[in-house]
Amino acid sequence: MSTNRKIIHIDMDAFYASIEQRDNPELRGKPIAVGHAEKRGVVATASYEARKYGVRSAMSSVKAQKLCPQLIFVPGRMEVYKQVSAQIHDIFHEYTDIIEPISLDEAFLDVTENKKGIELAVDIAREIKQRIREELHLIASAGVSYNKFLAKIASDLRKPDGLCTIHPDQAEEFIAGLPIEAFWGIGPVTAQKMHTLGIYNGTTLRNCSLDMLTRQFGKAGKIYYDFARGIDLRPVEAVRIRKSIGCEHTLEKDITLKSSVIIELYHVACELAERLKAKNFRGSTLTLKVKFYDFTQITRSISVNTQLHTLQDILPLAKQLLSGVNFEKRPIRLLGLSVSNPKEDISNTTNSNITAYIQLSLNFKD
């Protein structure tokens, strides 16, 4: 396993909230949430002052206000956030052009052969943190390691304004004591399933055979098997291939009536078809997402031999997926649809050239 390469990953904590506080001095030091305060509203990002009360992204606005009665809601300004993200990327490009954007507020950078000839990845991370602070008046955390998995974890360890390195000779011991919930890509549902299998941390995960993990978790089992051993072969991809397009609607009120659900599903399918046309995207898998009144959610997928791109392609399959969902006693809060698995999928998920990474995690995102 090669551990001699270096990369930077960006993960911006409280991104929107930090920008709002930067641009409006009256909001500094106060608990704020970017989003809308109405009954059906959802928190996009919460400031650190609000997080002390338990306010988190994706939380309903009603719950957030109960946790923090003095919470200030601020409407989002997406165009501004895009502009700031571009400014951050301009800084990155002074060190490397191998940048893999994950979203507006997250990216990996390969600095193995960086433009400034800086030998140590940690020095690049420190320099970028300082420039972001001085030029954009925002705070960044950085994690340094030899692959994406460990770099991302490292960046989360000392937020905000942190800098953490996981060296190759420390990785095995570090992973052994890592709670399974902290592993990248393992959410609450998967973690609970692992608990029932006696898997609680890196050590117990490492004791599982590849056969057992793939039997229990499918293709993801191989990823978990590798992660437990500090292996992450994914390269930093300078050009990300779009792999899916989707949309979702939060309903004005929770619904259980089948005719109402079908109407809402139709509207989501129409919007999805428009997005597919605008992006000239086609895929062979349709996924339905349903979030219930209690914020629990499920997904259902179906793959076909044809390429999905019109309403006529999507709606019948969406209804078929919905027919397998029992919502008579579980009111629906949100419906979503997405198309994935494009015909021309040239993404490369395994590469023998493992890259050591710096993950820079700017303190702007949840």
Tokens at residue 230, please?
A: 């500090």
Strands of 185-282, DSSP E: 244-255
How big is the chain, counted in residues?
Answer: 366
Pairing mode, strands 7-11 and 43-46: unpaired
Compute CA distances 131 → 10, 50, 272, 277, whole Å. Answer: 14, 27, 40, 40
Torsional sign, CA 311, 313, 314, 318? positive
Tokens at residue 278, please?
A: 């605008």
- Contact between residue 235 and residue 355 where contact means Cβ atoms under 8 Å apart: yes
Asked if 106 is an active-site residue, the reply is: yes
- Contact between residue 91 and residue 135 where contact means Cβ atoms under 8 Å apart: yes
Among residues 20, 49, 100, 106, which one is catalytic? 106
Q: Which residues contact 347 (CB under 8 A, 6 or more apart)?
A: 237, 241, 243
Omega into 31 within 30° of 0, i.e. cis? Answer: no
Name the DSSP letter for residue 42.
Answer: B
Name the DSSP letter for residue 60.
Answer: B
3-state secondary structure of 295: coil
Query: Which has the closest alpha carbon to 228: 193, 165, 186, 192?
Result: 186
3-state secondary structure of 311: helix
CA–CA dist 86, 91 (Å, integer) = 9
Omega into 160 within 30° of 0, i.e. cis? Answer: yes
Q: Which helix (H) or strand (E) holds 156?
A: helix 148-157
Provide the annotated active-site residues. 106
